[in-house]
Structure 1
Amino acid sequence: MYRLLDIEFEHEGQKQVITPVLLQDEDDFILVDCGYPNFVPLLEGALSRHSVTFASISKLIVTHHDMDHIGALAGLKRRYPHIEIVSHEMEKPYLEGTRRSLRLVQAESTLESLPPEARPQAEQFIRLLESIEPVPVDYTVKSNELFSWCGGVQIVHTPGHMPGHISLYLPGSETLIGGDVVVIEQGKLEIANPQFTLDLEAAVRSVQLLLEYDIKELICYHGGLFQGNVKQALEELVSKYTS
């Protein structure tokens, strides 16, 4: 079973929503992604609406190391040290701080090419990325690994947005938790921020990979539960970038 933890907040004066996911069965609770820095109270509130506390959560699976997915990770680990942090093996050095964030490297590399009026905001973004605290990863996963967690979780390596990005397939319910492999914009599936995707061709191939799975329900971190024919929407998205 899964539950969507829609979290509403304001960022730069605009209302935004992110959708971490809670997996559960009779024995276990697992959180997938955890939002921006200082989001621990928002996460606690979202869990409480489902009568769950962090004391019950055993693992936190990270889809990739973008700030909106891991910003609260260090704060959560300090407050709830029993929670095991799980990521793809390629993401581990970025989460632990032994390698610099790829998003930070990207932001720094484009700074000089920006017009002067855009640089203050970009510099603020860089400072925010630099402030993200490293967190030890307790357990790394590889593509196609199938775990018995919460009724069955299959790891799907979906690079492009970032090289170590993963999605999670739940065979029992034919559900895919997509992270940022795709987003929902105006009711349609789209590549997440294609202008900032580290490898757009790989991102499109990852969408093609999803067509190999029987997906009845698709959950996007940005957009929540997709309403519509998942396979058709994925095919249309691939066609948009390959035709």
Structure 2
Amino acid sequence: MNLVTVLTLQGAGVPKEVHPVIVSDDKELVLIDCGYPGSLPLLKQAAAEQGVELDRLTKIIITHHDYDHMGSLAACKKAYPGVQVVAAREEAPYIAGEKKSLRLQQAEALHAGLPEEQKATAREFQDRLAALEPATVDILVQDRDCFPWGGGLEIIATPGHMPGHISVYLKESKTLVTGDALVAEAGRLLFANPQYTLDMELAWQSSRKFLNYDIARMVCYHGGIVTENIRAALLAM
């Protein structure tokens, strides 16, 4: 049986509610994004509440290297040593710690121009990014790569928020997992905060790709599930 399970992570250690997704079949259990640092217990609990045991975890797809998406990746790999990490080739060196996080570079570049009263908080954010534990990527993917996991999924390259950002289309359920290509607010689709989107024009171009898919629902990492007026919302952007 192929299942799509949308998780909700909230509570201590989760500054903002997020929605990882689990795609599973008889052989594979694939997690798409894995929360903030320290979120593994919350992941286990949220999955168990929906009848899914993470002990079956085989793969983790990372949409991009922001700390709220890969924060618990190293912990997951330690807890489940056989797990393979899947990510875009462009993102792999950042996830593996071979290159400095683009988000950290952005934060450092903006620091000098901040008001003095904001600099301490900004420095704490930089410290959190710098402390993020890296993990090796095992499977490198690119646009339109397809895999049989969970009834079939397709990788969609959606650069803009980050250069190597990917989204995932789940064929059997017609579910589009956006990552941060789009967010949802009160059921409405929006672009991710421009403050954290490195190339807004490219992000818009990436969103046009979604019009090529038959989408019954979208799962936004920030905002959760959207099922109403998806195509109209995309066309209006």
Matches within 5 A, 1:40-119: 40-119=40-119
CA-to-aligned-CA distance 1:7-44 (integer Å, 9 cap, x gap): 112569x7x31100010122221111000001111011
CA distance in 2, matches of 1:54, 1:84: 14
Secondary structure of the structure 2 residue equivalent to 1:176: strand
The CA deviation at 1:79 is 1.5
Structure 2 unaligned residues grouped into runs of 5+: none
> For residue 106 of structure 2, what is the amino acid of its counterpart?
Q
| Aligned residue in 2 for 1:240 | none
Q: Which segment drifts farther, 175-184 or 42-51?
A: 42-51
| Aligned residue in 2 for 1:169 | 169
> For residue 5 of structure 1, what is the amino acid of its counterpart?
L
| Aligned residue in 2 for 1:219 | 219
Secondary structure of the structure 2 residue equivalent to 1:18: coil
The CA deviation at 1:116 is 0.4
> For residue 164 of structure 1, what is the amino acid of its counterpart?
G
TM-score, normalization by structure 1? 0.93
CA distance in 2, matches of 1:219, 1:139: 23
The CA deviation at 1:67 is 0.5
CA-atom RMSD in angstroms: 1.3
CA contact (8 A) 2:13 2:38 kept: no
CA distance in 2, matches of 1:190, 1:144: 24
| Aligned residue in 1 for 2:9 | 7
TM-score, normalization by structure 2? 0.95
Structure 1 pair 48–28 and aligned structure 2 pair: CA distance change class (3 A): same
> For residue 205 of structure 1, what is the amino acid of its counterpart?
Q
Equivalent pairs: percent with the same residue? 43
Q: Which segment drifts farther, 3-12 or 206-215?
A: 3-12
Matches within 5 A, 1:7-46: 7-10=9-12, 16-46=16-46
| Aligned residue in 2 for 1:192 | 192
The CA deviation at 1:114 is 0.4
CA distance in 2, matches of 1:135, 1:120: 28
